[in-house]
Amino acid sequence: MRDELRLLKFLMCGPASFGDLSGQEKVLIMRDGGKQIGVNRVVIGLLERRGLLAFDGAMLMLTETGLAAAKRANAVRSEQYKAQHLDIEMQCVVGAETIHAVNLNESPLAQIARRKDKQGNPFLAGDEFRAGERLRADYTRGQIMPRLGANWEAAVSPRGGGASGGVAELTEAALSARIRVEKALAAVGPELSGVLVDVCCFLKGLETVEAERCWPARSAKLMLKAGLATLARHYEPAQTRRHERMLHWGAHDYRPSIA
């Protein structure tokens, strides 16, 4: 089976010449450019009987059925290779009741969250990871991501003249998301908000952030954790104030008054 797929894939690029079929057990299949493979004669005969290969003089080529089979096999192999590099998990989408398959390796923050410190504890706390994902979700819902190509929507849109993409065209949900992002970044402050946007929203790696900002090596990880801790206090204030107790400054003989 492996040799059959190998020959079909080789012939997808066009017909190839072949050596003597009555000689040795293996036949040399040659294509323009000097590329060649050795194939067992039995495999060639089997594919020919199945209608996947055809001879045209001294050339060996795929039939329409063979080309379709080669494309299907190549697509399946690509999906299998792709699946090896995915970390799929079923998650419920925030604000919806449906469950979707999510690639955990898509976000750099998810990869950082699975790292361990020297004591074996997760590098990011649960509330810090949730805060980063919440910022990313609002950033996407708010349609803040920059346009990477030409805007063809304006040419086919039935709307009248005037500037497009303004606040007036945003839906209520998108506008609310933008307001939440602005409040969150303001709570974090300008010193740490930049690295949060780069990693959580633009999905940049830590090495990329350090190179673009001319930071020392391994400094972006610490800045990111500090920013996520501040962001978590903004999103979940009740969790951070649970163990806080009120303090009062006073002299050593101070006694509170009882109303």
**How far apart are alpha carbons 152 and 148 in whole angstroms?**
12
- Of all residues in the chain, the percent with pLDDT exceeding 90 is 20
* pLDDT at position 218 over 60: yes
**Mean pLDDT to the nearest integer, 201-222:** 91
pLDDT (0 to 100) of residue 65: 86
Lowest mean pLDDT among 107-111, 117-121, 213-217: 107-111
Cα distances from 32 to residues 3, 18, 59, 61, 137, in angstroms, run 21, 12, 12, 13, 51
pLDDT (0 to 100) of residue 39: 82
**How far apart are alpha carbons 126 and 128 in whole angstroms?**
5
**Which band of pLDDT confidence, cut at 50, 70 and 90, is reported for residue 231?**
very high
Q: Where are the domains of the chain?
A: 2-84, 89-147+166-240
Under 8 Å between Cβ of 123 and 116:
yes
* pLDDT at position 251 over 70: yes
* pLDDT at position 182 over 80: yes
CATH, domain 2-84, list 1.10.20, 1.10.10, 2.20.28, 1.25.40: 1.10.10
pLDDT tens-digit readout, 47-83 = 888 888 888 877 888 888 888 888 877 776 655 555 5
pLDDT tens-digit readout, 35-57 = 888 888 788 888 888 888 888 87
pLDDT tens-digit readout, 237-248 = 865 454 455 566
* pLDDT at position 149 over 80: no
pLDDT (0 to 100) of residue 94: 46
Q: Taking the CA atoms of 155, 157, 158 and 160 in sequence, report the sign of the dihedral they define.
A: negative
**How far apart are alpha carbons 198 and 255 in whole angstroms?**
51
**Which band of pLDDT confidence, cut at 50, 70 and 90, is reported for residue 169?**
low
